[in-house]
Structure 1
Amino acid sequence: MLGVVRKGGFSVRGLWRTLCVVRAGHSVERFRFCEFHSTLSSYEDDDVKRTSDTHNSSAPHVSLAKSLACLTETSSAARIEERPPQTRMQLKRSIELRIKKRVKAQFSDGKFRELMMKVISSPNTLRNAYNCVRINSNIDLRSHDNSGLCFASMSEELARGEFDIQANTTMFDQLVLPNMKLRVVQEAIRVALEVVYRPHFSKTSHGCRSGRGHRSALKYVRKKIRGPNRWLSIKMHKKADARVVSKLLSMMEERIEDVLLFNFVLKMFENDALNLEFGGFPKGEGLPQEGALSPILMNVYLGVLDRELFRLRLRYEGLLDRPSDLRHWFRMQIKDSDDQTEDAETSRTKLHVCRWMDEVLIAVSGSECDVLELKAEIQSFLIDSLFIDAEVSVVDDACRLQFLGVTIRLESKEREAVRAVHKLKDKVRYLGSQKQEIWERGTARIGEKWLARGLRRLKESEIKQLNLSTPTLDKISCHRKEGMKTEHWFKQLLKVWLRDTNAVSEESMEAVLSMRIAEPALPRDLVDSHYEFQRRVREYVSSETSATLALLNPSSGDGEPVALKVEAPVAYMQRSLFRYGLINREGIPRRVASLAFQDDAQIIHWFTGLARRWFKCHHECNNFCEIETMIVDVVRMSCLRTLGAKHRISESNAENRFEEEMAQIPSSKEDVELQLASETVNDDDEALMYGVSHGGLCVLRLMQEPASMNCCDCFVFGCSEASSGEYAVHVMEKQRFPGWRTGFSPAIHVGLNRRHIGLCRKHVDDLYLGFISLQCVNFGRCNS
């Protein structure tokens, strides 16, 4: 209990009550007890000192208001010092939150009104969008900015509808590239559209959405889909035309009322400043003119397909004979339960839908008649309602399905039990083959020694010098002709011996010596024990019966699947590594010739960026152990050999010389697990960092040094640093389909190959490490 110490009409209990009232009433600052105790103690000491020395008028008097102010300032300063620095994702979210508040303020009567006039064209919104672009380019917002953008003039042009899109784009090789102004406007429109449509997107929709990207789509496939007997594969083939754009704008009019915004979007389509193509949509960083506006427009357009698929799910799963089934189905959708047994009892057909942009995966559990009917309805809806040329095909569950650059295959309990049995029998088979190999090697060695000793004795005797005539010696000497060397004579004798022993059909000379020479000379008990052991091994390996499977898995008779296995395309990745020069035809790591003339740090960053991309793309795949082996045995070794070839040193010397820098590339599987645990994989949000989380890998070849070129700024959007040189871009993957996620971008436009750009040293490293992508480069400044 606090005692009452009254001095001059003031009590300690009153101070405590005052602090409690301030804390409960305002809830602005959280007071720490230790700080309050120290302040209270100092106040009591001053009070006692003043009472003991009443004649000392020069002692400073601290008021209660000043004490409280100092207390709150100390608490705030302490919390600011303890606050961790914000990541790129957190910083961009805080900036976008300002735009979202302005967008929500324009909602009235069920629609968002005048977004272009009141929100997008606002100088504050354009400045915030510009900061978002700079964050995508991994630029510190506190750094100096000399872009020269006038947000006030841009705001006036947008508000009057006089923004010239064609003047803010650059075209070469039939590729329209945006300049800085258009990129800022596209970013502002993206944030505004995300606020409008995010609450209305389906939960089955993934890709370039906040919290629903590549990782969430594969997680849904791996954990939610169970027991399908057929798949529906949808292939879309359509580039946006007048009908598609008109349909898209009519969809947007349901929630937005803004003529200026619709006219601006229409102008961007007319000037090819946007790319909206269904089928072959860039998986990764996309084309450089898209920004992040095309993905959200594609999600808006295909949102109608999501609603149609939900209607089909309701029809096939919920509308059954009993009225209670519909209520049960809605309860299961709300709870999002994983219990498949109860749900299977009340549903004839089960549908699982997962869409990532224009890639749609539909798993069906039902009769063949229902599957064919569902296929016809989906295909007719895509063609008639969305004007998309689509091919819907039925795939059996036994086949491997390709989705999002990975392979999906069905695993059942029976298959897992068979694998468990085979795992034990493989060990026994390996032991038997190992013993057989040792036996054959030993007996062949005995036969070789017998043959060498016999031929040596035959050579030393020199039959003609013995002057002996026996049938055996005459038969041997007749095979030696005039002028024949001793080695040729031995070979002729071996051929005759093989023909006489009828051993020509044997696989090799070692097998003949083992079977015909060594084994007959060995003790019979030893030979019989060896062959008895091999017979027992063959009997055990071939003794797989249904009883053994029943012991491992009693319920394996129904063949019920337990999960879907998601596997990375390892074979395709190995072929890609061969094309890029990391390995030879035998799969042995080699030096990358295109990196030999770059700096040591850039070479290491290039290989580190490849490993980081593999961590992000495939760390949740079931065959990630194979990716670990490739990182340790191929990527790291190729990096060492590239550095060794550059400095003309051995691999061990290169590893010792660059030990600290090479720590970024794992040297063992344990290092892979540690580095994967330290990676902030959850910090990649496709809605905010579209094009950065899965950016492509390319090689930059230095063409001119800074001393021999005209001074210019870095080509990255928002960067004001001087360029460290002129680089030629050499893309690794130029095709757009199939979109395998191998660590190299499969969607870099062929028009960007060999383009000359200026980059600062920091952004060269960021591009290699995967912190930025080619989408952050202003290719509109290229002159060649």
Structure 2
Amino acid sequence: MLFALTRRSIIKPQISIFTFSLLHSTLSDFVSVDQDPPLKPLTKPQLKTILFSNYNHGKFSNLLQNVVALPSILYTASHNLTHPTRSSQLTLDSVSTRFDLLQLGHELAHNEFDPESCCVRLCSSQKRGKILVLPNLKLKVVIEALRMVLDLIYDGGFPTFVYGAREGLGRHTAVRYMKNLVENPNWWFTVAFDKVVFDSRHVGRLCSVLGERIDDGRLIGLIEKLFETQVARIELSGFELGKGLPQECGLCGVLINVYLNSFDRKVQKIRLRMNEQNPKFDDDVSDAVVYKPLKVYAVRYLDEMLLITSGPKMVAMDLLNWVVKYLEGELELKVDRMRTVIHSAVSEKIDFMGMEFRAVTPSVLRPPLSEKAKRARLKFRRQREVRAMEMKNARERNRRMLGMKIFSHVFNKLKNDNNKFKFDYQIENEVREIFTTWANEVVQEFLFESVEEKWNWHRELTGGDFLSLKRIRDQLPLEVVDAYDKFQEEVDKHLNPVKARIALEEEKRKGEEEEERKYSERTIDDLTIRGRKKERGRRRREEIQ
């Protein structure tokens, strides 16, 4: 499946930002180098070991007291918030310059932590518009710790088409999934929501979903307080510029995935049921028959949903009606029916994740190869590699044999000359004479009758030479440049594959013309002889009569 996509600009910053010191608090400002050796944060297997030690009877219990409140967990959360270039210098003492991790862990363990006291409220200088509620550094660490715990609990239970707020599953992975796995799309649609901010009703349902796997009222109560203080804020259908953007955090993405997990599982069941209803064919039959099964594909990136169907439009319409009914009935979300419409995957573009997608026309695509064709192509490639290796080995063997012949010829000639070796300078002249006559003819016959050999030598002698660069030639003496140019002229004269190919074609053409000429002469002679014989026979018959 191939898609043509276009990146679109969503955010156009045109407002003035104020009080950057309050909006941008990080851990990199107080990292101290002259401290104890830096501690290592917990790895993912270590976090899982701590988490599953509190797993009993299908639920996680006492997570806030036994997991989130641990200093090692809070230190790991602090490490995640630190800039990557300064994370190696992070120590417990450097964190303690802003707040005490041990005291924070004690407050969380005894349910004494107050999120509202760790917030900063910002309002416009004109006292108009909404108030922005921002967490300080202490509350950011707590939110990151909660995100880590919830991510470990729920990440393995999400379907494969869920992206966003998951490690290694971002927008690029979603696009790659659509490009590689979606086959023969016919219809698709995105789900557009009316502007919805999670209120007490949605938060209550979210907490009930969390309670299905987490038996810890303190942790769920802390999440409720984050929504009450508006530190955590989930707003569907985008955001207004300057409103809501600073409240976005990694915890909100995980909570969106948890809230929509039931919808994802229903879609996954529909996909599996659709695949089971398709008829099954054997490999031999499927190679000879072109069959496009009915399939449903889904991609969800946080609150953006794209559903794709391969089949008639009625399947897409039934799926659209079910999606709208489930989201509005079970999840109590408002769907914008004017924007949630079905589009043709081939002829219409669709907006998703800030990009425009359109499927490539099926006639442009090559038909998918069968398993038999794939095996045949793999076999052909292997055979081609083997033939290339055999030809290379043959060339090396012939070169070796040629060298041995030359050496043996020189050795025998010197040995048989007056039955003794010559050790004067005359040997050098004889060797030079032999190489310029007999050996040169052998090399010429062996090497330069092959266009492939000429092409290989021409590529080795001309490709990627830095002396062809103008800035290099200007810095060299003229003698060196002239010598290089003359050498290249000789290479092009004797080893140019184009000229060699033209020469071979010309020689082949002359051979064909000569063969045609001889054939025409033989034909004329045959016809002439037969004509003469017929004329003699006719005359004899006349004389007899």
TM-score bracket, normalised by the shorter chain, equals 0.5 to 0.7
1:119 counterpart residue number: 67
Report the Cα offset of residue 135 of structure 1. Answer: 4.2
Equivalent runs, 1:547-566 vs 2, <5 Å = none
2:204 is equivalent to residue 254 of structure 1: no
**CA deviation profile, 1:467-521 (whole Å, cap 9, x unmatched):** xxxxxxxxxxxxxxxxxxxxxxxxxxxxxxxxxxxxxxxxxxxxxxxxxxxxxxx
Which of 189, 197, 219 is 2:146 aligned to?
Answer: 189
**CA deviation profile, 1:582-635 (whole Å, cap 9, x unmatched):** xxxxxxxxxxxxxxxxxxxxxxxxxxxxxxxxxxxxxxxxxxxxxxxxxxxxxx
Whole-angstrom distance in 2 between the partners of 1:341 and 1:153: 68
**CA deviation profile, 1:450-478 (whole Å, cap 9, x unmatched):** xxxxxxxxxxxxxxxxxxxxxxxxxxxxx
Whole-angstrom distance in 1 between the partners of 2:88 and 2:198: 37
2:51 counterpart residue number: 103
Going from structure 1 to structure 2, the CA distance change for 1:206 and 1:92 (only over 3 Å counts) comes to farther
Whole-angstrom distance in 2 between the partners of 1:343 and 1:313: 24
Which of 334, 338, 355 is 2:300 aligned to?
Answer: 355
2:523 counterpart residue number: none
Contact 2:350–2:356 (CA<8 Å) still a contact in 1? yes
Report the Cα offset of residue 226 of structure 1. Answer: 1.9
Contact 2:185–2:309 (CA<8 Å) still a contact in 1? yes
Report the Cα offset of residue 177 of structure 1. Answer: 0.3
Give the counterpart letter for 2:353 in structure 1: L
1:128 counterpart residue number: 76
2:349 counterpart residue number: 400
Equivalent runs, 1:485-524 vs 2, <5 Å = none
**CA deviation profile, 1:54-110 (whole Å, cap 9, x unmatched):** xxxxxxxxxxxxxxxxxxxxxxxxxxxxxxxxxxxxx99854544332112111211
The CA RMSD over aligned residues, in Å, is 3.1
Going from structure 1 to structure 2, the CA distance change for 1:118 and 1:412 (only over 3 Å counts) comes to same
2:88 is equivalent to residue 150 of structure 1: no
SS at match of 2:193: strand
1:219 counterpart residue number: 176
Contact 2:298–2:308 (CA<8 Å) still a contact in 1? yes
Whole-angstrom distance in 2 between the partners of 1:362 and 1:204: 10
**CA deviation profile, 1:170-202 (whole Å, cap 9, x unmatched):** 011311100011001011111111111111011
2:264 is equivalent to residue 306 of structure 1: yes
Which of 202, 208, 220 is 2:165 aligned to?
Answer: 208
Whole-angstrom distance in 2 between the partners of 1:124 and 1:93: 7
SS at match of 1:376: helix
Whole-angstrom distance in 1 between the partners of 2:329 and 2:209: 16
Whole-angstrom distance in 2 between the partners of 1:344 and 1:350: 15
Report the Cα offset of residue 123 of structure 1. Answer: 2.1
Give the counterpart letter for 1:374 in structure 2: L
Going from structure 1 to structure 2, the CA distance change for 1:343 and 1:395 (only over 3 Å counts) comes to farther
SS at match of 1:390: coil
Give the counterpart letter for 1:356 in structure 2: Y
Contact 1:275–1:289 (CA<8 Å) still a contact in 2? yes
**CA deviation profile, 1:397-435 (whole Å, cap 9, x unmatched):** 21111222222112125347xxxxxxxxxxxxxxxxxxx
Contact 2:309–2:315 (CA<8 Å) still a contact in 1? no
Going from structure 1 to structure 2, the CA distance change for 1:275 and 1:344 (only over 3 Å counts) comes to farther
1:160 counterpart residue number: 110
Equivalent runs, 1:302-701 vs 2, <5 Å = 302-319=260-277, 345=291, 347=293, 349-391=294-336, 392-397=340-345, 398-412=347-361, 414-415=363-364
Contact 1:351–1:362 (CA<8 Å) still a contact in 2? yes
Going from structure 1 to structure 2, the CA distance change for 1:190 and 1:108 (only over 3 Å counts) comes to same
Going from structure 1 to structure 2, the CA distance change for 1:225 and 1:153 (only over 3 Å counts) comes to same
SS at match of 2:335: strand
Give the counterpart letter for 1:160 in structure 2: H
2:121 counterpart residue number: 171
Give the counterpart letter for 2:276 in structure 1: G
SS at match of 1:393: coil
Going from structure 1 to structure 2, the CA distance change for 1:281 and 1:103 (only over 3 Å counts) comes to farther
Report the Cα offset of residue 132 of structure 1. Answer: 1.9
Whole-angstrom distance in 2 between the partners of 1:217 and 1:188: 26
Whole-angstrom distance in 1 between the partners of 2:288 and 2:148: 42
2:218 is equivalent to residue 268 of structure 1: no
Give the counterpart letter for 2:154 in structure 1: Y
Whole-angstrom distance in 2 between the partners of 1:282 and 1:202: 30
Report the Cα offset of residue 232 of structure 1. Answer: 1.5
Whole-angstrom distance in 2 between the partners of 1:106 and 1:282: 41
Going from structure 1 to structure 2, the CA distance change for 1:412 and 1:318 (only over 3 Å counts) comes to same
Whole-angstrom distance in 2 between the partners of 1:412 and 1:304: 34
> Identity of paired residues, percent?
28
Give the counterpart letter for 1:274 in structure 2: A
**CA deviation profile, 1:660-680 (whole Å, cap 9, x unmatched):** xxxxxxxxxxxxxxxxxxxxx
Which of 170, 177, 188 is 1:231 aligned to?
Answer: 188
SS at match of 1:223: helix
Report the Cα offset of residue 125 of structure 1. Answer: 1.7
Contact 1:352–1:364 (CA<8 Å) still a contact in 2? yes
Going from structure 1 to structure 2, the CA distance change for 1:160 and 1:225 (only over 3 Å counts) comes to same
Going from structure 1 to structure 2, the CA distance change for 1:196 and 1:350 (only over 3 Å counts) comes to same
Whole-angstrom distance in 2 between the partners of 1:181 and 1:318: 51
SS at match of 1:353: strand
Contact 1:96–1:191 (CA<8 Å) still a contact in 2? no
Report the Cα offset of residue 119 of structure 1. Answer: 0.6
Whole-angstrom distance in 2 between the partners of 1:412 and 1:301: 36
Contact 2:197–2:235 (CA<8 Å) still a contact in 1? yes
Rg larger in structure: 2
Give the counterpart letter for 2:181 in structure 1: K
SS at match of 1:227: coil
Report the Cα offset of residue 395 of structure 1. Answer: 1.0
Give the counterpart letter for 1:218 in structure 2: V
**CA deviation profile, 1:257-310 (whole Å, cap 9, x unmatched):** 100000000001011010211221699xx8333331111111111111211111
Whole-angstrom distance in 2 between the partners of 1:92 and 1:240: 37
Give the counterpart letter for 1:310 in structure 2: Q
Going from structure 1 to structure 2, the CA distance change for 1:96 and 1:311 (only over 3 Å counts) comes to closer
Whole-angstrom distance in 2 between the partners of 1:310 and 1:282: 33
Contact 1:100–1:191 (CA<8 Å) still a contact in 2? no
Going from structure 1 to structure 2, the CA distance change for 1:219 and 1:120 (only over 3 Å counts) comes to same
Going from structure 1 to structure 2, the CA distance change for 1:142 and 1:261 (only over 3 Å counts) comes to closer
1:279 counterpart residue number: 237
Whole-angstrom distance in 2 between the partners of 1:371 and 1:240: 29
Which of 202, 206, 214 is 1:244 aligned to?
Answer: 202
SS at match of 1:232: strand
Report the Cα offset of residue 318 of structure 1. Answer: 2.1
Whole-angstrom distance in 2 between the partners of 1:204 and 1:92: 33
Equivalent runs, 1:757-776 vs 2, <5 Å = none
Report the Cα offset of residue 160 of structure 1. Answer: 2.1
Report the Cα offset of residue 341 of structure 1. Answer: 8.2
User: Which TM-score applies when normalising by structure 2?
Assistant: 0.53
